[in-house]
Structure 1
């Protein structure tokens, strides 16, 4: 291995960088930093900063990888164009202003508050605003057209509420899938909704879109975080179509919920 890639490295502490360096030197028995390997750090310090439990701003700055003695080995290469929002110049400028702390405040808000432009605020139902009428059309092609659209929420309770609303809009009868808990009391486990995990009761309908939370089969493209369109559910046997990844367009079948 000659290249190591760490994305979102702004959340990495200088101690973590030191551990990587020491580990590579010990494994390869080399005096060179990182054994001379190229370490590619994807960083934008305007993004989420390193989290220090109960720490103030000074503690965050002191723990940043920019404070590492290894930082002087870094060669900075800048990416100048946000490919995700190509053609959206106003939105791009607004994002940069937020990140640079130069956003004008026309409403006299506190320094730690951000004014969201009116053209970015939905005054209608957020589901219909984002997904449109495609969600209500009972055909595979219409649902696939919105399969890459995502509503992000800050908390689990918010996404559970939105998912329930979306499921109620889908035509057809719902199938209820329950998880199986052992060792720990069922009542306690069912009361938890952990980040990155589905609720213990999963409601599915035809044209639901689900996400795999673990890799099932590398050869067939059933990898962690891919999205699957549910085509039919019969006796808890689920048939679906892969919407992302290297096997996009392939068919999927399972005898248990795809997100378990």
Structure 2
């Protein structure tokens, strides 16, 4: 399997993104065998992908470049949540589970129950159930303190947790290595979301 740092791979991705890679009548592109993971049983394909991308995960989880140089990308939020849940299960150690406290702001008649709201996953908000382990990579979804390195998209690694805070270490940028505490904070989806409340 080719490494993603291989210059050929970067050029190949640019050709696909630019629409220059040859496709078939259905608009599909055949990926070269050396960048594909062989298909196995359907229920273990995601495990095979995780094991391939994050080879020897627990032996390397303290290595900053190992964690920050790998990612599994997906086009759909529900797939991202499924991959994240499966990924966390690959880490050793105890799991901490955080739950959101969901409520509708403009709902004087209580039409939207918290049970219903817990099933929604608006863009830019974490899932209702967030499971983490020490060593799990996380991404900040809001600008909390941009001058201190805490802005939307900041990549961190969990170093510990308490009931209402996450102890994390910034992994990249000018503030790499800085330890911070992420508190529980109120979040609202953006106004352009598909929900009318």
Normalised-by-shorter TM-score class: 0.7 to 0.9
Q: Do 2:67 and 2:137's aligned partners in 1 also have CA atoms closer than 8 Å?
A: no
Name the residue aligned to 2:58. 136
Q: Go from structure 1 to structure 2 and tell me whether the alpha carbon gap of 1:164 and 1:246 turns closer, same or farther (over 3 Å shift).
A: same
Separation in 2, partners of 1:235, 1:181 = 17
Name the residue aligned to 2:38. 123
Relative contact order higher in (CA < 8 Å, ≥ 6 apart): 2
Structure whose alpha-carbon radius of gyration is higher: 1
Q: CA deviation at 1:252?
A: 0.8
Q: CA deviation at 1:181?
A: 1.6
Structure 1 residues 61-140: aligned runs within 5 Å:
88-89=7-8, 92-93=11-12, 95-96=14-15, 99-101=18-20, 103=22, 109-123=24-38, 125-133=48-56, 135-137=57-59, 140=62
Normalised to the residue count of structure 2, the TM-score between the two structures is 0.73
Separation in 1, partners of 2:30, 2:85 = 30
| Partner SS, residue 210 of structure 1 | strand
| Partner SS, residue 177 of structure 1 | strand
Match of 1:160 among 68, 73, 81: 81
Separation in 1, partners of 2:177, 2:30 = 41
Match of 2:168 among 226, 236, 240: 240
Q: CA deviation at 1:87?
A: 5.2
Q: Do 2:60 and 2:66's aligned partners in 1 also have CA atoms closer than 8 Å?
A: no
CA RMSD of aligned residues (A): 2.8
Q: Unmatched 5+ residue regions in structure 1?
A: 1-84
Separation in 1, partners of 2:125, 2:162 = 24
Q: Unmatched 5+ residue regions in structure 2?
A: 40-47, 105-111, 189-197
User: Structure 1 residue 227 and structure 2 residue 146: aligned?
Assistant: no
| Partner SS, residue 55 of structure 2 | helix
Q: Do 2:149 and 2:175's aligned partners in 1 also have CA atoms closer than 8 Å?
A: yes
| Partner SS, residue 54 of structure 2 | helix
Name the residue aligned to 2:70. 149
Per-residue CA distance 1:117-136 (angstroms, 9 max, x = gap) = 11121126110111111x22
Separation in 2, partners of 1:120, 1:139 = 24
Q: Do 2:103 and 2:117's aligned partners in 1 also have CA atoms closer than 8 Å?
A: no
Q: CA deviation at 1:220?
A: 1.5
Name the residue aligned to 2:191. none
Q: CA deviation at 1:146?
A: 2.1
Q: CA deviation at 1:203?
A: 0.5
Structure 1 residues 39-50: aligned runs within 5 Å:
none
Match of 1:177 among 98, 111, 131: 98
Q: CA deviation at 1:94?
A: 6.8
